[in-house]
Amino acid sequence: MTLTEAIEQAGRVYLIGNGGSHANAQHICNDLLSCGVRAYTIDSATLSAFANDTDWELALAKWIGVVGERGDLLIAMSGSGRSPNILNAIEQARELGMTIYKIFGNERSENMQETEESQLTLGHEVYCAYQRRLNLI
């Protein structure tokens, strides 16, 4: 299943990442929202609150546990593919019956810049696909 197909079939789309991947998640989320997709990413205040109440490794999993439901889609982005907070969020999403789409550096490239570029490229490809469907381009 392509990412565009997964988004179309999802109830809601959640995007997560760390550092540059989190910034990319916010960028892609904004693009999807402009196409009418129910897309969400965690804001820094909520993220820091969950981290403060639990710990950093469980903060994203806690958020997904609160907002996610069966039939939703989690797009997880990580340069290394080994970040415990990303892996814990994926496990939480799996337990909820969510669809999971990973964009991990160790699966695409060992170069962090190439990984983050591939995240944005994929996000822009999905955005353009939706723009064509909406006859906006």
**Residue 87 pLDDT greater than 80, yes or no:** yes
Average pLDDT of the residues of the chain = 89
| The pLDDT of residue 103 | 86
136, pLDDT greater than 70: no
Q: Which residues does residue 76 pair with via DSSP β-bridges, in sequence order?
A: 16, 102
pLDDT at site 108: 55
Class at the top of the CATH hierarchy for domain 3-133: alpha beta
Environment class of 73 (CB within 10 Å of its CB; exposed 0-12, middle 13-18, buried 19+):
buried
Mean pLDDT of 100-105: 88
| pLDDT over 80 (residue 18) | yes
Rg (CA), the chain: 14
pTM above 0.85, yes or no: yes
